[in-house]
Amino acid sequence: MSRTRLTVVFGPLLVTAILIAQTKIVGDRELREAARNTNEWLTYGHDYAETHYSPLQQIDITNVKRLGLAWSWATGNPERSRVEGTPVVADGVLYGSLGWGVLFAVDARTGKELWRWDPDISHDYFLKICCGPSNRGVAIYNGKVFAGIPDGRVVALDQRTGKVVWSVQDGPSKDNTLTSAVRIVKGKVIVGSSGAEQAVRGYFSAYDAETGKRVWRFWTVPGDPSKPFEHPELEMAAKTWTGDVWHKMGGGGTVWDGMAYDPDVDLLYVGTGNGGPWDRNIRSPQGGDNLFLASIIAVKPDTGKMAWYFQETPGDTWDYTATQPIVLADIAINGKMRKVLMHAPKNGFFYVLDRTNGEFISGSKLAKRITWATGLDAKGRPIEAEGARYKYNPVRISPSNLGTHNWQAMAYSPVTGLVYIPGSESSAVFARDPAFEFAHGNQNAGTSTPQRPRDDQGKAIPGQVPNVPIVEPAGAENQPADTGPFLAAWDPKTNSERWRIQPTGGFLSRGGSALVTGGNILFHDAKAYNAVTGEVLWEVNLDGPSAGPITYMLDGKQYIAVMARGTPDNRLFVFALDAKEPIPSLVLAK
């Protein structure tokens, strides 16, 4: 009797112990030490500093030309979406995300699918969402896989089975979407919102990783001025907004990408987005910096309380988000070691900040052509060019709203001391739409290119001919021409460019993210470069754009993995030295 009862009690415990032993538990210690983990890729940027750097050096400048395809996996990415995700790898399993919030796990040795989870989202509404139902990545922690889903859900799945452990609705309205990679900090799931053009108010939130209970939320722009401020920082921010309509139009400031964390100073760094609508004349008609748009915000991860902020584009009116990937490093500047935060936002400048207090250390032009500003002052505030703030008549501005740098992650190598940035030189025409009418669920940028000259009230000037000329800000005539996509190596110590190449045959806008390794190899857009010189050492034709490459080691072999190609033929490609699998041919859509 006693033996039978012991079997009943301990049998399930034994089974549970076996299952746990089969899955590596990634906890706080593993995430803090991820930078030194030479075999795995445990979080979106490889480590909390978001360096997209791996110490692995089996593949180096002497042998990278021997790379071949080890295996590939057809992801089945859903239609009408593109893949921008960077996967993670732990304990021999690769986890990732596809469009429409589809999550998956595959064997990192063979590509065998282990599980797949589809949130089953209706595709109709999201056809209006900027800029498509993409998802940039998942997080793993304590036996679970976490992700933000385009319909506003935050989910935790069982790491072994892909079954839902918990699911919560994050967005306060159906116009809020989640497209960024989530991060795990001190047992909390950090989630940023998307959809500034859809009349939303930006925020980022922290959820308990075990229960899904929300711990705190930081609103990036003030809400209804007739109501109490949700947290004290908003009282200061509200003084930088004018008029009384911004809260009805959302205000923007969504957090759709860049985050990083420093465990030593215990600060979480978050980049915020553009204004909604884009045109400040609409949302804040008497001007103002409109905090915390286009800013880097540092908060305490336990409470969400702000430690400091730095605004890169005050009073943004060009869709110059600061949500671009953030990188942390300790570097020597003028003979002194500094804990720095490095950032290349859309606005064309490269910033180096002291991450302990937000002090501006240096800033320089990353873009060759910047016409909206002539430079940065001693505190890092842009010096705006005359005529850059468009009204009703069209003005051509550089960079364009796509930015010099966008969602494609840059990489930092502690070996070379360089930051590698996928970017693009482009311009765009901005003008206020005189027929703009705000409506929830629409693209409320408030911009157009009118065909007749307008006065300051937007009324057509009588007697003037259509097709009003497009003008440029003062000094634009002295700027170089746009040159399109580039890959640049940047020295943050001197805030200057070391080298730049203009990729050929790559993705039209700038390729995917960058990856750099201890073997001094820089991977970008299905090419391998010498990280010191920029020389192309290896390339492969994948017949389409690539997303975020990673590297990992299993059984003594280093692999390079990246998702590439569009739908319906998106695939996960995994390369290794001396592998010989043929590149699968494109399967054309019917």
Distance (Å, whole) CA 357 – CA 364: 20
Determine whether 319 is an active site residue: yes
Residue among 287, 267, 265 nearest 275 (CA): 287
**Residue 248 main-chain phi, psi, to 5 deg:** -75, -25
Distance (Å) of CA 579 to CA 160, 222, 369 = 29, 55, 43
The long-range contacts involving 376-380, CB below 8 angstroms and separated by at least 24 positions, are 376/349, 380/310, 380/312, 380/351, 380/353
Measure the CA angle with vertex 389, ends 384 and 390; round to 5°: 155
Distance (Å, whole) CA 392 – CA 379: 31
Q: Which of 47, 151, 279, 319 is catalytic?
A: 319
Measure the CA angle with vertex 11, ends 7 and 17; round to 5°: 145
Helices (H), ranges, 259-362: 280-283
Question: Does residue 308 contact residue 358 with C-beta atoms inside 8 Å?
Answer: yes
Distance (Å) of CA 419 to CA 88, 516, 517 = 22, 9, 12
* Structure-block tokens of residue 124: 């109709």
Distance (Å, whole) CA 122 – CA 520: 44
Distance (Å, whole) CA 509 – CA 426: 10
Q: Which residue in this structure is represented by tokens 């922290």? A: 206
Q: Look up residue 455 and give its amino acid.
A: D
DSSP 432: B
3-state SS, 140-185, equals EECCEEEEECCCCEEEEEECCCCCEEEEEECCCCCCCECCCCCEEE
* Structure-block tokens of residue 129: 């969402």
Torsion over CA: 54, 57, 62, 65 (sign): negative
Q: Give the CA diameter of the chain.
A: 103
Active-site positions? 319
